[in-house]
């Protein structure tokens, strides 16, 4: 965790937050600290719910990614927290991925802050020693899928929803740490196919390729995650946490070592005219669609 804090501090993401605003002895809510999240920790079960709450689609703007990193870090340090469930309060959408309106015609300095915040959000969730699970009750494209990939266990709702890394289709080339996380989860062959094609998956296919661990009716999604969480947090935390670190440390070290390089490469790509044109056209399409 020292590593996560160092990374966050280096990225200017970590700031002093009030320890907690206590509602009562067994249930505490950090929500007052956050604009785009609800964070509730049940001190009795030692499980926190980190609920993405940026309507209309939980698109991830720079501040929201900073908040997710800070909240995860804060929970990681809280002795009363053994598990974090990430879910969404937006019906049928887990997260629509990066906020394209912030990426469109972004200034270089802002983009750097934005990308550092994405790196920090991922590495904080991926690197935390506490158990993390995603209750994916709707669409999870691109960075929505990245949040889910960073967790230890994913349950998705049945329905006409999509999950996956569609970056190629947006003209955005894949970067190393997202590629590594996908391949670690779904394997080399699936990675070669899905990442080149920018493929999105319906829940049953996502289950087949191992992108999610379970698919259940929507109303059972959160209860199913809660049931699994109850089991996972029973495992002695020290042993489980160290085992998790052992498995994830290499990826964390790689990201830390190559974060600047990633930023440099992605700044060049994302601010290039062809990608900016694609994002512009995509935004125009979304506006037309919602006017219909």
What residues line the site for ligand LRBWVUCK (CB under 6 A)? Answer: 56-57, 59, 93, 96-101, 139, 141-143, 146, 166-167, 170, 172, 174-175, 178, 286-287, 289-290
Smaller CB separation from ligand LRBWVUCK, 77 or 205? 205
Residues 6+ apart with CB under 8 A from 44: 26, 27
Alpha helical stretches, state H, the chain = 2-10, 62-77, 100-103, 108-127, 143-149, 176-186, 188-197, 203-208, 218-232, 237-270, 273-291
Smaller CB separation from ligand LRBWVUCK, 67 or 99? 99
Q: Quote the least distance from Cβ 47 to ligand LRBWVUCK, whole Å.
A: 27
**Please, is 217 exposed, middle or buried when counting C-beta atoms within 10 Å of its C-beta (0-12, 13-18, 19+)?**
exposed
The pair of three-digit structure tokens given for residue 6, joined into one six-digit string: 């160092």
Q: Quote the least distance from Cβ 268 to ligand LRBWVUCK, whole Å.
A: 12
172, 275 in Cβ contact below 8 A? yes
Smaller CB separation from ligand LRBWVUCK, 71 or 170? 170
- Give the CB-nearest residue to ligand LRBWVUCK: 97
Q: Quote the least distance from Cβ 225 to ligand LRBWVUCK, whole Å.
A: 21
Q: Quote the least distance from Cβ 288 to ligand LRBWVUCK, whole Å.
A: 9
Q: Quote the least distance from Cβ 102 to ligand LRBWVUCK, whole Å.
A: 8
Smaller CB separation from ligand LRBWVUCK, 227 or 284? 284
How far is 220 from 223, CA to CA, in rounded Å? 5
Q: What is the DSSP-derived secondary structure letter of residue 98? A: B
Q: How far apart are the first and last CA of the chain?
A: 48
Q: Quote the least distance from Cβ 227 to ligand LRBWVUCK, whole Å.
A: 27
φ, ψ of residue 273 to 5 degrees: the values are -60, -45
Smaller CB separation from ligand LRBWVUCK, 26 or 204? 204
Residue of 170, 167, 163 lying closest to 206 (CA atoms): 163
Smaller CB separation from ligand LRBWVUCK, 7 or 33? 7
């Amino acid at each position: 965790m020292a590593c996560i804090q160092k990374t966050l501090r280096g990225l200017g993401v970590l700031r002093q937050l009030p320890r907690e605003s206590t509602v009562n002895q067994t249930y505490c809510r950090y929500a007052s600290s956050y604009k785009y999240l609800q964070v509730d920790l049940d001190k009795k079960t030692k499980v926190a719910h980190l609920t993405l709450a940026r309507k209309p689609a939980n698109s991830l703007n720079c501040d929201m990614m900073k908040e997710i990193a800070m909240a995860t870090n804060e929970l990681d340090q809280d002795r009363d927290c053994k598990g974090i469930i990430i879910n969404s309060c937006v019906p049928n959408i887990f997260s629509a991925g990066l906020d394209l309106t912030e990426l469109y015609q972004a200034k270089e300095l802002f983009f750097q802050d934005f990308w550092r915040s994405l790196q920090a959000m991922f590495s904080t969730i991926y690197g935390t020693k506490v158990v993390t699970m995603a209750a994916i009750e709707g669409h999870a494209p691109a960075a929505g899928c990245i949040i889910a990939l960073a967790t230890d266990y994913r349950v998705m709702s049945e329905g006409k929803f999509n999950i996956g890394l569609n970056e190629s289709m947006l003209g955005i080339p894949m970067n190393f740490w997202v590629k590594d996380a996908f391949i670690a989860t779904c394997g080399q062959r699936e990675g070669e196919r899905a990442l080149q094609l920018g493929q999105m998956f319906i829940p049953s296919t996502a289950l087949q390729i191992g992108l999610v661990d379970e698919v259940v009716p929507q109303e059972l999604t959160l209860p199913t995650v809660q049931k699994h969480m109850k089991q996972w947090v029973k495992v002695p935390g020290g042993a489980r946490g160290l085992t998790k670190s052992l498995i994830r440390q290499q990826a964390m070290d790689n990201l830390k070592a190559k974060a600047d390089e990633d930023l440099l490469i992605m700044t060049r790509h994302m601010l290039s005219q062809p990608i900016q044109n694609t994002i512009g056209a995509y935004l125009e399409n979304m506006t037309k669609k919602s006017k219909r």
